[in-house]
Amino acid sequence: MKPLSSKYVQLCITLLIGFGFAADGQIFVATSLPDGPGAIGEYNFDGLAVNTAIASGLNGPWSGVSDGNGHIFWAMEGTGNGAVTEYTSAGATVTPSLIPQGGEVMGVTVDGKGHLFVMYGTPYGSAFDSVSEYNLDGTLVNASLITKVSGGGFASIACDGSYLYLADSYNNNISKYTVSGTLVSSTFISLAHNTGPLALACDGNGNLFIASNDNVIREYTTAGAAVNTSLISSGLDQPFGLAVFGNDLFVSSQRSGIVGEYTTAGMPINASLITGLSEPNGLVVIPEPLPNILIIYGLGLIILLKRTRQICKRLGLEK
C-alpha cells in the first residue's frame, strides 16, 4: 500500500479537528404526576425519548447524581418516608432502598472519592434538615455530618470534590461546608429576598451555577465571587433541575414541563430541547456508554478518511 503524503495526513488532521467528534450523552429526567407516582425518563442529546419511563411508580423522585461508573443515585423525596434508590444507566434497579432513612430526601451528591452525601429537609424548613454521609454501597459513615442551619430550608446540594454547597431557599442563601462537615460559611452567597435557590451544579472548573425560583440562573465561582448574576434570565419557569455536561448546561422547568440546553456562558442551544414533561425535577446527564461511542465514531472516522482521500486526489495532494 502506498504511504500517505504528509500533505494528506495534515489535511486529515485538520478535518478531524474541524469536525470535532464531541461525545454524545444520555439525559435522565425525574418527573412526577400531580399528587401521583413519579418516573425517570431517558432522552438523547437531540431531545428524543429513548424511554420515557425506565423506572416508574416512584415515590417522589427529586434529584439524582451519577457515580461516574454507570450507576445513578436518585433521591426519592417521599412524604416523611423518602429514600435513595440506585439504578444502572440502563434503568435496572441495583438497590431499591439503598438508604431507607425516612424523612424527606431532597438531594444527593458525590465527591468522586467513593462518598455519597444525602440531604434531608424541605425548601420551607423542617426539623429534618440535615446531611448524612455514606459510602457508595450504602454503609453509613456519618449520620449527622451537617445539622440544620437555624431557620434554614435545604432545597439542593452540590459538591466540587472538596466542598459541599447547600441551597437554603427559605433564607435565600448558599452555605458552604468542607466534605468533612466543617462549616465554612452559612451565608457563603447571599441572594435577594424571595430569590429562592432551588438547584445547584458545579462544573469542575471552579464555577457554581444556581437555579432559583425567580426564574434566573446565576453563576458564581466556588470562591463566592459573582461571575454573572443573570446568566439565563428568560424562558424558565420554576427551574428545579440543573446539570452541567462539558460546556453545556441543562435546565428543567417544572411548571412548563421543559428541559432546555444552554452553553455554560448562558447562550441557548435549544431552550425547548425536551417538552411535554409532567413536572420535571432533577436532571442527570452522563456520557454515552463507551462501546457505543467507539463503534459510532470508528465508523465515522473510516468514512471521513475515505472521503478525505478522495478530496486529496481531486486537489492534487495525492496521486
Encode pLDDT of 93-149 as tens digits: 888 888 876 677 889 999 999 999 999 876 555 555 789 999 999 999 999 999 875
Task: Work out whether the CA dihedral 90, 262, 264, 160 comes out positive or negative.
Answer: negative
Encode pLDDT of 242-301 as tens digits: 999 999 999 999 999 999 999 999 999 999 999 999 999 999 999 876 555 445 555 666
- The domains of the chain are located at 1-23+292-319, 27-287
Residue 256: CA count within 13 A, CB half-sphere: 19
- Indicate the SS3 state at residue 308: helix
Domain 27-287 indexed as CATH 2.120.10.30: yes
CA angle 149, 213, 275 (to 5 degrees): 130
Cβ atoms 30, 20 nearer than 8 A: no
Whole-model pTM?
0.82
Tell me the one-letter amino acid at 63: S
Is the pLDDT score of 21 beyond 70? no
Cβ atoms 198, 169 nearer than 8 A: yes
Is the pLDDT score of 57 beyond 70? yes
Output the pLDDT for position 35. Answer: 60
* Residue 18 vs residue 304, higher pLDDT: 304
Q: How many CB atoms lie within 10 A of CB 150?
A: 9
Tell me the one-letter amino acid at 306: K
Cβ atoms 184, 178 nearer than 8 A: yes
Question: CA 252 to CA 109: how far, in whole Å?
Answer: 18
C-alpha cell at 128: 429534618
> What is the DSSP code (8-state) at residue 262?
E
Is the pLDDT score of 175 beyond 50? yes
Question: CA 53 to CA 199: how far, in whole Å?
Answer: 23
